[in-house]
Amino acid sequence: MSGHSKWATIKRKKGALDAKRGKLFNTLIKEIQVAARTGGGDMEANPRLRSAVTAAKSVNMPNDNINKAILRGTGDLPGVNYEENSYEGFGPGGAAILVECLTDNKQRTVAEVRHMFSKFNGSLAENGAVSWMFDEKGVLTFSSDVVDEESLLDHVIESGAEDMKADGSMFDVFCAPKDFPEVQAYFEEKDIAVENAEIAKIPQNIHEVEDKDQNTLLKLLDALDDLDDVQKVWANVEIDVDEPEE
């Protein structure tokens, strides 16, 4: 299978900066709220909620923020009703891009997304134009600080996951979406700390983007990711970037 989109690695590298400016917390709170609304507030019975809470705790979100987001989702506290929408398009050099959003104003969101595509030499496309290039997979990310590659490979086999891939000091473990709750529970029972767990869009093939287009493409991906209504951005590219400065 193709590797996890390099854009996922880029987002990990800029995650600390996102947290500092509040974008990451806002994104995670929305996801917790929607997960609780659609699947209930019990994390044991709601894998999406469990994954969202795990991601929130991994960036040290206070428990009070997490609990309030759950209660807003279940209706026990008043809150905004967010709608899930996704958009597809092409970036500089022909890169395929998927944008997943949670919004309380669809017209505002699509206008902002379209503007960013246009600003950075991309184009918004119709639904279905890009999504067929990606497979949906459960992805769990681990640090080499908590588990070595050989041990993790044994766990991949025992857990029912499909594959794993090393990415620098991190490991990505892949599984079918239907197996995601069981695989996630397996690693929790083994007390192996997960850096991130999510249902991801994995490109079937990596699209090569010429050097002259890479900088503009990165600006587009970053600008989309920074929009308040955008939850996740997926792209079928592999681009090496430096660690973000503090």
pLDDT tens-digit map of 108-117 = 999 999 999 9
pLDDT tens-digit map of 35-93 = 999 999 999 899 899 989 988 887 888 999 999 999 999 999 998 889 999 999 999 99
Tell me, what's the pLDDT at 167? 81
Confidence grade of residue 5 (pLDDT, cut at 50, 70, 90): low
**Overall average pLDDT of the 91-116 stretch:** 96
Residue 167 lies in a domain: yes
Q: What is the pTM of this model?
A: 0.83
pLDDT tens-digit map of 157-178 = 999 999 999 887 889 999 999 9
Confidence grade of residue 22 (pLDDT, cut at 50, 70, 90): confident
Q: Are residues 218 and 120 in the same domain?
A: yes
Helix or strand or coil: residue 35?
Answer: helix
CA distances from 139 to 83, 101, 174, 220 (A): 24, 19, 5, 24
Q: Which of 240, 237, 172, 233 is CA-nearest to residue 203?
A: 237
Helix or strand or coil: residue 124?
Answer: strand
User: Is pLDDT larger for residue 67 or for residue 239?
Assistant: 67
For residue 62, what is the domain's CATH number? 1.10.10.200
Residue 107 lies in a domain: yes
For residue 138, what is the domain's CATH number? 3.30.70.980
**Overall average pLDDT of the 211-233 stretch:** 92
Q: Are residues 218 and 114 in the same domain?
A: yes
Tell me, what's the pLDDT at 168? 79
pLDDT tens-digit map of 129-144 = 999 999 999 999 999 9
Cβ count near 74 (within 10 Å): 17
**Overall average pLDDT of the 28-38 stretch:** 94
For the chain, the domain total comes to 3
Tell me, what's the pLDDT at 24? 84
Determine the structural domain holding residue 114 and report its residue range: 83-132+205-235
